A and B are shown apart, each in its own frame.
Chain A
């Protein structure tokens, strides 16, 4: 059973470009969480999705950020018009049930030049 997969592992973007981060949950997991880790900070929750639905987006900035988890395919975190402050590690986690153990992917390290 493959673990949570994220790609790309490293992503470099110039200011103003778009960044698309992908997350494939573990087989059988329908709950996906996105977290962001800034330097010297712990992981901060961004958004929680179930298949085709956003359940909780209270941690996601209102502008430029969006997330989806379509019926088929991976979950995608999209950042439009990136700025230097978006540089961070973005982690995806999946869970078979809400509130249970979450399994983490290797993360995507976004660098904005």
Chain B
């Protein structure tokens, strides 16, 4: 069965620090990859997605992610975080031969102190 692992449960950073959140998935076929963010009290919003093409994907609010097929990874990065980035971040995958529902990781809570 497909699964998604997010390595960090809770990350605490100071403003202007760099961010990298790890995400690995287990599925051998073609995948669509997503990062969603949930700000406190709000619903999930899409940060960025990868379907095909350039493995370095740029999303909203200065976030980017790199798809490394050989490592089954899709890590999220931001060079300089802001207090407003405090939120929960979810990595998700759709295995294209295994249905169309999103398979989510357990999420990473990011706390940014000003």
Interface: A101 (CB within 8 A): yes
Beta-carbon contact of B34 and A91 below 8 Å = no
Q: With A and B bound together, what is the CA distance between A48 and B101 in angstroms? A: 7
**Chain B residues near A104 (CB-CB < 8 A):** 36, 43-45
Q: With A and B bound together, what is the CA distance between A41 and B3 in angstroms? A: 13
- Distance (Å) between the CB of A77 and the closest chain B CB? 14
Which one of B44, B94, B99 lies within 8 Å of A91 (CB-CB)?
B44
**Chain A residues near B102 (CB-CB < 8 A):** 33, 35, 43, 45, 93, 102
Beta-carbon contact of B43 and A99 below 8 Å = no
Query: Of residues 32 to 56 in A, which have CB atoms within 8 Å of B's CB atoms?
Result: 33, 35, 40-45, 48, 56
Interface: B25 (CB within 8 A): no
- Residue of B with least CB distance to A33: B101
A-B contact count (CB 8 A): 56
| Residues of B contacting A: mostly | strand
- Residue of B with least CB distance to A95: B100
- Residue of A with least CB distance to B104: A42
Chain A residue total in the interface (Cβ 8 A): 27
Interface: B32 (CB within 8 A): yes
Chain B positions 62 through 86: 1 when the CB is less than 8 Å from some CB of chain A, otherwise 0: 0000000000000000000000000
Instruction: Say whether, besides A33-B101, A43-B90, A101-B34, A106 and B42 are in contact (CB < 8 Å).
Output: yes
Beta-carbon contact of A41 and B43 below 8 Å = no
- Distance (Å) between the CB of B10 and the closest chain A CB? 11
Interface: B106 (CB within 8 A): yes
Instruction: Say whether, besides A91-B43, A91-B44, A101 and B49 are in contact (CB < 8 Å).
Output: yes
Which one of A41, A45, A91, A100 lies within 8 Å of B103 (CB-CB)?
A45
**Chain B residues near A105 (CB-CB < 8 A):** 43
Q: With A and B bound together, what is the CA distance between A104 and B102 in angstroms? A: 12
- Distance (Å) between the CB of A103 and the closest chain B CB? 8
Q: With A and B bound together, what is the CA distance between A102 and B43 in angstroms? A: 12
Beta-carbon contact of B107 and A99 below 8 Å = no
Q: Give the A-binding residues of B (Cβ under 8 A).
A: 4, 6, 32, 34, 36, 42-46, 49, 90, 92, 94, 96, 99-107
Starting from the known contacts A31-B100, A42-B106, A42-B107, 10 additional A-B residue pairs (CB-CB under 8 Å) come to A42-B6, A43-B92, A48-B99, A91-B43, A93-B44, A99-B96, A100-B32, A104-B43, A104-B44, A105-B43
